[in-house]
Structure 1
C-alpha cells in the first residue's frame, strides 16, 4: 500500500468541536429573537431543562450508577452554564447577536489566566498580548465614540458572562475522563435549567405569555444545547482546554456571518474591534516553543491537574 505520509490536520474530536462551534454561533441570533418574547432567566430555564430531560432519556439506562463525584462535577459545571448563559441572555435583550458573540469571545484569554490562578502555572507572553488586543477590541466594539469607556447594561452583563463560561471549559477539562460522560451531562443541564427557573422570581421577572417564538426557540435550543454539551464533554477527553478554546474562538465569526444575514450591521470601527477580539483570542493561545519544550515534547501530555493524560483510556460514554 502506498503511504503518502499525509494525515488529516484535525482529530475527529477537534472536527466535532469545529462543527458545534458553528452551531453555537447560530444560537446567538435565536436567543436574541426569543428574549423579545420572554424574560431571560425563564428562557434559560426552559432551554436547559429541555436539554436536560432529552439527555436523561438518552442516558436513562446508566443513571442508576450515578456517583457522588459525578453529581458534584455535573452541579459545578451546571452552575457555570447557568451563570454564563444566563448573563449572556440578559445582555441579548439589548445588544445584537453579533456584538454579544464577539464580547463573549473574551473568555478565551481568560481560560489560561484562570488556570494560572487555580493551577499556579503563569500564562506565557502571548496570553498577555492577546488579552491586551482583546481589551482594545472590546472598547472599539462596545462604544467607540465614548471617551470615558462606558458600556451599556447589556454589554456589562455579557462581559460578566465570560468568567463563568471560561470556568465551565476548565471544569469540563478537569473532569474529562474521570466521570461518566452521560451522567454528568444530564446533571449539568438539569442544574442549569433548574437554577434558571429559581432566578425568575429573584430577578423580579414575570412569567411570559405563551408564544410559539420562545417555545419553539427553547425546544430547538434544548436539543442543540444537549448536543453541544455532550460533544464538548466527549471531545475534551482528548482535546485540552487550551486547544478547545482556540476552536471556540471561531464562534463569534459564525455568529457575525449569521447575524449579518439577518440584518446586523456593525460600523467599520466596531468591525475592527471585533477583529481585534478574535485576533487576541488566537494570539493568547500561541505557543512559543523553546529548547526545553522540544526536549520534553515526546513525554506523555498532562491533564489539567498535572496528572497523566487520560486521552488514551477507553471511552466510558453511555
Structure 2
C-alpha cells in the first residue's frame, strides 16, 4: 500500500473550522436579506432603496479605509465606476423583481450568476466553457424552467422573474470585471468607489423610472443602514476567512445561500410548488458544478476571483 495514498486521495470532512463557520454564518445572513428586501418594497421603490443601502455601505467602508483613499489612481476610478454600474444594474433589477416574486424565487434565480460567468466569458470574450461549466449551464436552464411561472414548470416567465434573471447576468458581469482588475488596484479604494457609484447611479435612475422619494419609514431607514453595515462587515470577514478556506470549500458553503433564503421564506409563510423546489435544487447543483470546474483551473485569475469576490458588495 502506498504510504502517500491518503495524502493524494481527496477527502471530504464534515468538521468546520472557525473560518468556515464564519462563512456559513455570512451565507445565512445573505439568505435572510432576500426576505428583508422583499418586505422593504412595501414602503419604498427599488432604486431609492438600492441607492440608500449602498450609500450606507460606501460610508461604512469609507470610514474604515479613509487613510487609503488619498492614493486613488485613474485605473482604480475606472474599475470602481464600471463595477459600480454593474452592481447598480444587478441589485437594482433584483430589488425591482422582489416587488412581484417571492424571496425564495429571487434567491434561486439570482444564484444563476455563477454558471452565467463562463457563459458570458464565451459570448463576450470568446472563451469556450469546459465540460463541467457547460453541464452547469444546462442544469441551470432546466432548473430555471422548473422554477419559473406561478405553478412551477411553466415555460412562461413573469416580469419579476425576467428582471431578476437579467440581474443575474449583471452580477456575472460584475464578477468578470472584478477578476479583470484584480491585482491592479487597491481593494479598499475600489470598494469605496464601486459602492458610491452604485448608490449615485441608483438615485439617478429614479428619474427615468419615475420613482418618487418615499415617505419616512423606520423599516426603510434601519434596513438600508443595517444592510450597508452588514456589507462592510461581511467584506472584512470574508477577506479574513478565505485566507485559510480553500476556494472549493468556500464555493460549497456559498451555494447554500438560496437554500437559506428558501428556509427563511418558508418560515415566513412562502410556499413554492414541489416542482419549483426541484428547479431550485437543480440551480444549486449547477452552481456547485460550475464553480468546482473553475477551482481546478488555478492558473486562471478568474477562477480565484469568482469564489473570493462573488457576493461581497451585493449583500
Smaller-chain TM-score bracket: 0.7 to 0.9
Partner of 1:269: 275
Q: Would you identify which runs of 4 or more consecutive aligned residues in structure 1 move more than 6 Å?
A: 4-15, 233-244
Deviation of 1:226 (Å) = 2.3
Partner of 2:87: 81
TM-score (norm 1): 0.81
Secondary structure, in 3 states, of the residue corresponding to 1:201? Answer: coil
Partner of 2:52: 46
User: Which of these residues, 97, 102, 111, is aligned with residue 108 of structure 2?
Assistant: 102
User: Which of these residues, 279, 283, 304, is aligned with residue 289 of structure 2?
Assistant: 283
| 1:70 is aligned to 2:76 | yes
Partner of 1:226: 232
Partner of 1:190: 196
Deviation of 1:230 (Å) = 5.0
Deviation of 1:119 (Å) = 5.0
Deviation of 1:146 (Å) = 7.6
| 1:177 is aligned to 2:183 | yes
| 1:304 is aligned to 2:310 | no
TM-score (norm 2): 0.82
Pick closer, same or farther for the CA change 1:123–1:247 going to 2, 3 Å.
farther
Aligned residues: 296
Pick closer, same or farther for the CA change 1:244–1:73 going to 2, 3 Å.
farther
User: Which of these residues, 130, 137, 148, is aligned with residue 142 of structure 1?
Assistant: 148
Deviation of 1:204 (Å) = 0.6
User: Which of these residues, 30, 48, 58, is aligned with residue 24 of structure 1?
Assistant: 30
Deviation of 1:25 (Å) = 1.4
| 1:133 is aligned to 2:130 | no
Deviation of 1:242 (Å) = 8.3
CA contact (8 A) 1:181 1:233 kept: no
Q: Partners of 2:88 and 2:262 in 1: how far apart?
A: 24
- Give the RMSD, CA atoms, in angstroms: 3.4
CA contact (8 A) 1:113 1:123 kept: yes
Pick closer, same or farther for the CA change 1:198–1:41 going to 2, 3 Å.
same
Structure 2, unaligned stretches of length 5 or more? Answer: 1-5, 309-315
